[in-house]
Structure 1
């Protein structure tokens, strides 16, 4: 029904649905071959082109993929997954892509189409599903992030164009479709994706031994002190905030543990064990969202952003504070992707996967998009959108927008 309504306006022709919908059970050893592949032990969803069959169809695993997705992310996330696969059918019928089109372009368009469909559902137009723009949309985004690519190394550089995209890629495309509609999705190509990615790291580099770096730093007092020095260089405030690991040092108390901004002393107070606990690298097999060192670094960076607002006389407890904090954190994180010389001689630079860890935190705990008291806006979509605005913008952009 969605594509019957929007396809003619988007592409100027009538919509032709796929020929067939197929479900299979990946837990069943006798599960049939689908789209030319054995489906046993293959939890997946796919669009099958007529090239592999006399029919065009969409298939999904009802044995493991769907019930697991429902358990962790809800029914609407499964609907968005199928909408993604239907997006592949649409891009083929509309001649948006060809055999040699990069995989990332196909996937970003499909993620974008899924976002446009989810907007249609959220507006109450679907006869089958409903979707709230708070927790419901949060879970749909979580489902998209959970299926993002792993962090690639230099040895896997071809996956920059032939993968499905980072968590940032996937949320950005989904949000584009949700906000701007299907016509904007059709305009996505490799040049657009490269422009959006900018200079953010995607591949893990080699370390001094010739091996692949882990992408993770020890979250200790030394690393956080270097982070503060780096943020001083990025923002150059007249009165930089201090850093304390004494959780009793702020007269107002720790307002947003594990990292709080103490306005009366212009100090960021960190509960280091608490911050470290929130920054343990997540395991993909646990269906966890990305988590690691930048989960903690981004939270501390957000409290630094609070000090910048305090210096400007901005309120620290308003809803707009939360989004401005996320935006300013995005500005700093974008700058941290580049090497900066520090007076101490220390270095700290974001690695591949770090931005995805910040995205994961924005969706799960929202502290990066929090007020001085740790309160945040309920929509993870809005929190991530504000952070992305900072990544692509500047401090002035954030101050004007929020």
Structure 2
């Protein structure tokens, strides 16, 4: 089920005293904006003639069903026969309840179906609010409509094979299958839906809308997962294919955490967050080089802690950027008013160490004789930021504790800011690729980061 959840209240609980690793998003030329190649001839009950949301949904359903015709025999040893109850389009402001079939999938009050898209097993049908899908398409691009259809039909497949799993497993697995289907679309295999790789960036920001509110229990009856849980599932499907999705079970790592009063604190004061972030980065890299972390050997060598300071309008190498590693003096520079303060306010306090982790990672690369320019260098720094976040999440960095939502803040900060050429020197990486590098560092540790 795809329903909105609040993304407010992201926190960092830090007890700190002030004392080659990305998926290449390749694809074929396609129409812009996630729009259709050709229109499918597939019935959608109560669809409005000429409605763009209905058109996008119809085309997506046709292509998703075609993909499952290929994948179901490979994954489950049998065919997927589609949706016996079909696909239903409703608009709470226009749909007459008398036009809907009687059954558990439909309410006599059409308002109960508002702002939702869901698979209903009782009737083996997918139902969606077309007005809501239109709003989502305006905000995140028309591919959002296609992905929602892919997610819901994945639930139909789960029902067909008798999946018995907690909600968070079923929901993230459905998102993983949507990611695997998306790669199939990007590679030019779909007859009706098209999307260009760069158009995946705004789609990923849609997870801000669908993520469970920070502090929601992962064991909740309707748990969908955190932003990172959903986003990483989508990217895993995109990178590793549907077989990786089929392996999802309750042993999977989820970052969704139930609120613990002992860990939930207010955001760090704005005036302290950069100093704390500097301390966290220093502590992480000292440990990574000298001792390592569980599952990752020490990198070796010693850290010369870079000077982390506000740029104050002083450009390095002729560039005036929001984030910068300056090889001339080994410093890490940032724009406080133009970048870190808005990121702190709009995303949360853990956005600050996540963003500073990029130029800091480049500084460490330079100290180790590695390149500091280009996609491999920036992807390595993003991967290391994911690695740092995982060690903090696991409590492996002394005096650092993450609160529910902090991992989401890190991923969101990379998506929102790190591809802006005014923030970071252009590397050729999309937001999708940066966050995928972060994901791999978080999931697999430093061995994937090229240090």
Q: TM-score, normalised by structure 1?
A: 0.82
Aligned to 2:351: 295
Aligned to 2:241: 181
Cα deviation code 1:104-131 (max 9, x no counterpart): 1110111111112111211212121101
* Counterparts in 2 of 1:251 and 1:371: CA distance versus 1, 3 Å: closer
C-alpha contact (below 8 Å) 1:201/1:351 kept by paired residues: no
* Counterparts in 2 of 1:74 and 1:31: CA distance versus 1, 3 Å: farther
Which secondary structure state, in structure 1, belongs to the residue aligned with residue 261 of structure 2?
A: coil
Q: Aligned pairs, how many?
A: 364
C-alpha contact (below 8 Å) 2:277/2:352 kept by paired residues: no
Aligned to 2:278: 228
Distance 1:308 1:224 in 2: 18
Alignment RMSD (CA, Å)? 2.7
- The answer on 1:62 being equivalent to 2:147 is no
Aligned to 1:47: 119
* Counterparts in 2 of 1:300 and 1:107: CA distance versus 1, 3 Å: same
C-alpha contact (below 8 Å) 2:172/2:233 kept by paired residues: yes
Cα drift, residue 340 of structure 1: 6.7
Q: 2:337 aligns with which of 270, 273, 286?
A: 273
* Counterparts in 2 of 1:325 and 1:161: CA distance versus 1, 3 Å: farther
Aligned to 2:152: 85
Greater relative contact order, per chain length (Cα 8 Å cut-off, separation 6+): 2
Distance 2:261 2:424 in 1: 40
Distance 1:246 1:57 in 2: 56
Distance 1:177 1:393 in 2: 16
C-alpha contact (below 8 Å) 1:255/1:374 kept by paired residues: no
Which secondary structure state, in structure 1, belongs to the residue aligned with residue 329 of structure 2?
A: coil
C-alpha contact (below 8 Å) 1:278/1:295 kept by paired residues: no
Distance 1:48 1:396 in 2: 43
Aligned to 1:76: 143
Cα drift, residue 365 of structure 1: 2.3
Which secondary structure state, in structure 1, belongs to the residue aligned with residue 80 of structure 2?
A: coil
Q: 2:105 aligns with which of 27, 35, 38?
A: 35
C-alpha contact (below 8 Å) 2:419/2:429 kept by paired residues: no
- The answer on 1:140 being equivalent to 2:140 is no
Q: 1:104 aligns with which of 154, 157, 168?
A: 168
Distance 2:432 2:218 in 1: 30
* Counterparts in 2 of 1:253 and 1:350: CA distance versus 1, 3 Å: farther
Q: 5+ unaligned residues in a row in structure 2: which ranges? A: 1-65, 287-301
- The answer on 1:389 being equivalent to 2:440 is yes
Aligned to 1:332: 388
Q: 1:117 aligns with which of 172, 181, 184?
A: 181
Aligned to 2:20: none
C-alpha contact (below 8 Å) 2:273/2:349 kept by paired residues: no
Cα drift, residue 312 of structure 1: 1.3
- The answer on 1:357 being equivalent to 2:409 is yes
Distance 2:376 2:161 in 1: 41
Moved more, 327-336 or 141-150: 141-150
Distance 2:373 2:208 in 1: 29
* Counterparts in 2 of 1:15 and 1:380: CA distance versus 1, 3 Å: same
Q: 2:425 aligns with which of 365, 368, 374?
A: 374
* Counterparts in 2 of 1:224 and 1:143: CA distance versus 1, 3 Å: closer
